[in-house]
Amino acid sequence: KAGVTQTPRYLIKTRGQQVTLSCSPISGHRSVSWYQQTPGQGLQFLFEYFSETQRNKGNFPGRFSGRQFSNSRSEMNVSTLELGDSALYLCASSGGTQAYEQYFGPGTRLTVT
């Protein structure tokens, strides 16, 4: 079974721009969660989608948004990028018989200049 895939793997953007990251979950998984990882703040939960609905949301500003499609693929969008948004963005999927276990993709490394 293919794992979680994230595209692109690396991205360089300029302050003020917006960016869209994509995540394809493991086949059959209906939950997709997004996390931000930085050296200073560690791993922080952004939001979770389940069957196209946002089920949970972390403490991030409204510039961070996401959505999930009917095939469970998910995108997250960050508008008006700030230098502090530079991070590794990780996507994780859950579902099937291994409930509560999250399976992570390799991440998208976003650099904001």
Partner 1 sequence: AQSVAQPEDQVNVAEGNPLTVKCTYSVSGNPYLFWYVQYPNRGLQFLLKYITGDNLVKGSYGFEAEFNKSQTSFHLKKPSALVSDSALYFCAVRGLNSGYALNFGKGTSLLVTP
Q: Where are the beta strands (DSSP E) in 1-113?
A: 5-7, 10-13, 19-24, 31-38, 42-50, 53-57, 64-68, 74-78, 87-94, 103-104, 108-112
Provide the β-strand partners of residue 103: 93
**Residue 89 CB, nearest approach to partner 1 (Å):** 10
Please state, in angstroms and as integers, the Cα–Cα distance from residue 52 to each residue in 40, 55, 79, following that order: 31, 9, 21
Of 44 and 79, which has the nearer Cβ to partner 1? Answer: 44
**Residue 63 CB, nearest approach to partner 1 (Å):** 20
**Residue 98 CB, nearest approach to partner 1 (Å):** 9
Of 10 and 14, which has the nearer Cβ to partner 1? Answer: 10
Q: For binding to partner 1 (CB under 8 A), which residues are involved?
A: 4, 31, 33, 35, 42-45, 48, 50, 55-56, 58, 90, 92, 94, 99-107
